[in-house]
């Protein structure tokens, strides 16, 4: 992509309305724009990162055998009357009337709808286990939307719903999502700690929140310091092996870790003092097992192997991709701007033309741009007529992991500068060497 043809509305001023660094940087880097309180437009650079996060989530969900579908954002109130949550949900639910005066709502979550879908078409235990997920916008009319997309009213959620014949099967489904979440967050370069959590309006009695430690986190959390050193499960873990899944979950839940609502001061005090961590955390995922809470009012049953009808056992599993964009910036930035891990960077490489109009510099940039693009590398080529200083600032602000600085002086010696965003280190190399290093 040539920057001169892209849409990247960079802000040079620090926006006054933004209280935390991720919100400031997302506005300054032209990733999002507020349209109303807690409602944001995703501009091209922000959307690229959001899509990469969704793809990692999707790959890890698919690996477990979960199947993607897409449910609508607008739901009928009748569905929610069936579960009894229409009144319970209160003011957080955005209620709408259509032209026929029918009560509709903008979905805050989809337990009701998915139960209704499965009830209509799954009749036998032979179709189980089943895990269906979608990645769809949600709306919650939060009392205090704040910190940009970190706590917004409209936000993206990956929500998965599992269906099993009995509690044992449902536990296996829960464990599979637990393990998939560990892998998902690790692939984004995040250390997410599973913590015993409250179930709130979703319900049930088994629940874990996946929390990233960050000083700007909204909740207070308590855990054993060893969590920060644990390695995530490997890619070839066998999700169908129930015992292996349980062993992994046991391994990740024996050390103490709890959110404020579930905090047990005695258990925390039993951790060696130097390993006790009381910190602030950002919730990036939340998983629930709630048995027959929804299948009962919806009368969602299947025939078991013995020919008897049985209520489905269910769980639901959420990740907030839009919140994750903010969380990743909270975890990885410096004075100059965002530092994207390679896995979610909007572009892998920036080419900075430091003297537009100089024919040798223009030709070297165009050549590198063409070759890298052909090799499948995502490149943002800064071919604008901005000053060099402003180009450096932009590339650092938007966090491109690699930058190739092409100026007349070095080029006269046959060299360009290769800069690594994470540590600012620079190296003089030939354009051919730069290509070799970055092509893969």
Q: Which is nearer to ligand P5A, 8 or 113 (CB)?
A: 113
Residue 111 CB, nearest approach to ligand P5A (Å): 6
Q: Which stretch binds ligand P5A (CB under 6 A): 11-19, 186-194, 318-326, 360-368?
A: 318-326
Q: Which is nearer to ligand P5A, 202 or 365 (CB)?
A: 202
CA 302, 305, 308, 311 dihedral sign is negative
Per-position x/- string for 43-82, each x denoting binding to ligand P5A as judged by CB under 6 A, each - no binding: ----------------------------------------
Interface size with ligand P5A, residues (CB under 6 A):
21
> Which residue among 52, 151, 171, 176 contacts ligand P5A (CB under 6 A)?
151
Q: Which stretch binds ligand P5A (CB under 6 A): 64-72, 224-232, 313-321, 337-345?
A: 313-321
Residue 409 CB, nearest approach to ligand P5A (Å): 47
Please enumerate in sequence order all residues whose Cβ is within 8 A of that of 250, keeping only pairs 6 or more positions apart, or say none. Answer: none
The yes or no reply on residue 176 touching ligand P5A (CB under 6 A) is no
The yes or no reply on residue 152 touching ligand P5A (CB under 6 A) is yes
The yes or no reply on residue 285 touching ligand P5A (CB under 6 A) is yes
Report phi then psi at 400, rounded to 5: -60, 125
The yes or no reply on residue 399 touching ligand P5A (CB under 6 A) is no
> Which residue among 25, 57, 157, 190 contacts ligand P5A (CB under 6 A)?
157
The yes or no reply on residue 174 touching ligand P5A (CB under 6 A) is no
Q: Which is nearer to ligand P5A, 156 or 411 (CB)?
A: 156
Residues in 193-212 at the binding interface with ligand P5A, rule: CB under 6 A: 202
Q: Which stretch binds ligand P5A (CB under 6 A): 220-228, 310-318, 395-403, 431-439?
A: 310-318
Q: By C-alpha distance, which of 297, 349, 313 is closest to 116?
A: 297
Q: Which is nearer to ligand P5A, 27 or 157 (CB)?
A: 157
CB atoms within 10 A of CB 359: 8
The yes or no reply on residue 85 touching ligand P5A (CB under 6 A) is no
The yes or no reply on residue 318 touching ligand P5A (CB under 6 A) is yes
Q: Which is nearer to ligand P5A, 200 or 414 (CB)?
A: 200
> Which residue among 284, 344, 361, 379 contacts ligand P5A (CB under 6 A)?
284
Residue 267 CB, nearest approach to ligand P5A (Å): 23
Give the chain as a 3 state SS string: CEHHHCCCCCCCCCCCCCCCHHHHHHHHCCCEEEEECCEEEECHHHHHHHHHHHHHHHHHHHHCCCEECCCCCEEEHHHHHHHCHHHHCHHHCEEEECCCCCEEEECCCCHHHHHHHHHHHCCEHHHCCEEEEEEEEEECCCCCCECHHHECCEEEEEEEEEEECCHHHHHHHHHHHHHHHHHHHHHCCCCEEEEECCCHHHCCCEEEEEEEECCCCCEEEEEEHHHHHCCCCCCCCCCCCHHHHHHHHHHHHCCCEEEHHHCCHHHHHCCCHHHEEEEEEEEEEEEEEEECCCHHHHCCEEECCCCCEEECEEEEEEECHHHHHHHHHHHCEECCEECCCHHHCCCCEEEEECCCCCHHHHHHHHHHHHHHHHCCCCEEEECCCCCHHHHHHHHHHCCCCEEEEECHHHHHCCCEEEEECCCCCEEEECHHHHHHHHCC
Q: Which stretch binds ligand P5A (CB under 6 A): 55-63, 91-99, 265-273, 284-292?
A: 284-292
> Which residue among 162, 316, 353, 384 contacts ligand P5A (CB under 6 A)?
316
Residues 190, 329 contacting (CB under 8 angstroms): no
The yes or no reply on residue 317 touching ligand P5A (CB under 6 A) is yes
Q: Which is nearer to ligand P5A, 17 or 92 (CB)?
A: 92
The yes or no reply on residue 30 touching ligand P5A (CB under 6 A) is no
The yes or no reply on residue 34 touching ligand P5A (CB under 6 A) is no
The yes or no reply on residue 323 touching ligand P5A (CB under 6 A) is yes
Q: Which is nearer to ligand P5A, 28 or 208 (CB)?
A: 208
Residues 81, 49 contacting (CB under 8 angstroms): no
The yes or no reply on residue 109 touching ligand P5A (CB under 6 A) is yes
- Which residues here bind ligand P5A, judged by CB under 6 A? 109, 140, 142, 151-152, 155, 157, 159, 202, 283-286, 288, 316-320, 322-323
């Amino acid at each position: 992509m040539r920057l001169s043809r892209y849409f990247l509305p960079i802000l040079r001023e620090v926006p006054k309305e933004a209280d935390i660094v991720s919100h400031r940087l997302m506005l300054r880097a032209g990733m999002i724009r507020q349209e109303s309180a807690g409602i944001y437009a995703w501009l091209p650079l922000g959307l690229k990162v959001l899509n990469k996060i969704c793809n990692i989530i999707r790959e890890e969900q698919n690996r477990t055998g979960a199947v993607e579908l897409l449910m609508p954002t607008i739901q009928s109130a009748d569905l929610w009357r069936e579960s009894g949550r229409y009144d319970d949900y209160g003011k957080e639910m955005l209620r709408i009337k259509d032209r026929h005066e029918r009560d509709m709502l903008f979905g805050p979550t989809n337990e009701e709808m998915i139960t209704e879908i499965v009830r209509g078409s799954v009749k036998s235990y032979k179709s189980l286990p089943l895990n269906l997920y979608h990645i769809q916008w949600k709306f919650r009319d939060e009392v205090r939307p704040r910190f940009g997309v970190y706590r917004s009213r409209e936000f993206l959620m990956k929500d998965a719903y599992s269906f099993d014949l009995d509690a044992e099967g449902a536990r296996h489904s829960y464990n599979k999502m637990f393990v998939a979440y560990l892998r998902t967050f690790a692939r984004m370069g995040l250390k997410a700690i599973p913590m015993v959590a409250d179930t709130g309006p979703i319900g049930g009695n088994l629940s874990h929140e996946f929390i990233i430690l960050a000083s700007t986190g909204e909740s207070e959390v308590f855990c054993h310091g060893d969590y920060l050193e644990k390695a995530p499960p490997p890619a070839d873990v066998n999700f169908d092996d129930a015992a292996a899944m349980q062993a992994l979950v046991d391994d990740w839940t024996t050390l103490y870790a709890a959110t404020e609502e579930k905090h047990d001061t005695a258990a925390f005090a039993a951790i060696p003092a130097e390993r006790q961590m009381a910190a602030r955390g950002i919730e990036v995922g939340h998983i629930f097992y709630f048995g027959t809470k929804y299948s009962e009012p919806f009368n969602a049953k299947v025939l078991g192997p013995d020919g008897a009808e049985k209520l489905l056992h269910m769980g639901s599993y959420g990740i907030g991709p839009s919140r994750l964009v903010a969380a990743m910036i909270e975890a990885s930035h410096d004075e100059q701007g965002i530092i994207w891990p390679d896995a979610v960077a909007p572009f892998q490489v920036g080419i900075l033309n430091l003297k537009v109009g100089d024919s040798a510099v223009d030709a070297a940039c165009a050549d590198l741009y063409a070759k890298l693009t052909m090799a499948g590398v995502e490149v943002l080529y800064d071919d604008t007529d901005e000053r060099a200083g402003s180009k450096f600032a932009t590339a650092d602000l938007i966090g491109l992991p690699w930058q190739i600085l092409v100026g007349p002086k070095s080029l006269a010696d046959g060299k360009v500068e290769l800069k690594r965003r994470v540590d600012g280190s620079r190296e003089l190399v030939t354009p051919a060497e730069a290509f070799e290093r970055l092509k893969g």
